[in-house]
Structure 1
Amino acid sequence: MSVSALRRIVSSPKKALAGTAVAAATAGMVLAAAPAQAAAPTSASAAKSIAHEMIPDASQFNAFSKIVEHESGWNVSATNASSGAYGLVQALPGSKMASAGADWKTNPKTQIKWGLDYMNSRYGSPAGAWSFWQANGWY
């Protein structure tokens, strides 16, 4: 933004901002307020990437990934119609994931953290959870 545009905003904020917005739109730019916090990615590939960063061990990541693929298809908002299980790891009830963060409904990182904690505490590791899943069809 140029110095002259800043001066116009200071002297007449509404008028200058409107003029700057028109100029930006004409130039093909978009003016938008920056969000306080970036929205959590919700695509399957973004969720997988986050999990891979959080689980650097390849065998543990693969086990975690297989469970999530079967449970939710890497859909952060997957909901089981019959049980109400929710999220990547199909927590039941989904609200249990609030212990990992208030954004549990939409943030894959929060859901992955909760899922890892659950798998580690109940089965010793994601690989242990996958072994159980293979034997039982659930974990």
Structure 2
Amino acid sequence: MNQTAPAARNPRGQGSSSRLVPRHGRAVERHVRNRWSLPAFSFVATMSIVLVSIADTSAPAVAVELAAPGATTVDSQEFTASGAHSVTAELAAYDITEPPPPPPVAAPAAPAARAGAPAAGTPDPGSAKAIAAEMVAARGWGTEQYDCLVALWQKESSWNVYAYNASSGAYGIPQSLPGSKMASVGADWQTNPATQITWGLNYIQGRYGDPCGAYASSQSRGWY
């Protein structure tokens, strides 16, 4: 009957292995891990990760080229591109020409000076001139208008109520043409000086404004 011999002890009580004698007489070595092996390996791995994490990232990266066997390695080349950009604006050339000044505006011609008539004086009471003086004053005209009226009709008819121009057909003190126009004032237009003077003053006021206007026209043209 075979018996297994007891394992031989390390006289110092230390070591990482021991020898056992099997039943068949072959020696088999069993390795026993040291109790500090795993902690040491873990510490080294942890420190490696930390060192990689805190590595200087500001340093330029190194490009690693993997070339196939037999490939030719070409040194890296650097290219610098630079350019200038400019904007050019051109203004169209033109000349500024001031417009010519407008032609001077002619001043309005001064109205022709009215021809002044000589003073007529005081008319005889009840005469045709006396009737005319009252009518002139009634229209708001002054004595100068009466003077013009006296001078105007003195030239036309000499203040004759029956004055007749055979060549033109004019009649009466105002020389109405034809005389029948005075019928608009009264049927006695042929004999009544008041009727003739009323029609004559109406005509002068409507055509010339006042007796002096009519007198000025008569002086320049010979008629009114």
TM-score tier by shorter-chain length is: 0.5 to 0.7
Show the counterpart of 1:137.
222
SS of the aligned residue for 2:127 comes to helix
- 2:180 counterpart (92, 95, 104): 95
Show the counterpart of 1:52.
133
Show the counterpart of 1:82.
167
Distance (whole Å) between structure 1 residues aligned to residue 184 and residue 210 of structure 2: 19
| 1:51-101 residue CA offsets vs partner (Å, 9 max, x unmatched) | 111112211111111111000001001000111100001000000011111
Distance (whole Å) between structure 2 residues aligned to residue 133 and residue 108 of structure 1: 22
Letter of the 1:53 partner, please give it.
Answer: E
Show the counterpart of 1:66.
151
User: When the two structures are aligned, how many residues end up with a matched partner?
Assistant: 96
Distance (whole Å) between structure 2 residues aligned to residue 46 and residue 123 of structure 1: 25
Show the counterpart of 2:213.
128
Letter of the 1:87 partner, please give it.
Answer: G
Structure 2: runs of 5 or more not aligned: 1-123
Identity across the alignment (%): 56
Letter of the 1:50 partner, please give it.
Answer: I
TM-score, normalization by structure 1: 0.66
Distance (whole Å) between structure 1 residues aligned to residue 162 and residue 175 of structure 2: 9
| CA drift at 1:133 | 0.6
Provide the aligned C-alpha RMSD in A.
1.4
Letter of the 1:73 partner, please give it.
Answer: S
Asked which structure has the greater CA Rg, the reply is 2
Letter of the 2:202 partner, please give it.
Answer: D
**Higher relative contact order, chain-length normalized (CA < 8 Å, sep 6+):** 1
Structure 1: runs of 5 or more not aligned: 1-42
Which aligned runs of 4 or more in structure 1 are off by greater than 2 angstroms?
Answer: none
Instruction: Please give the residue correspondences for 1:107-126 in structure 2 after superposition, counting only pairs within 5 Å.
Output: 107-126=192-211
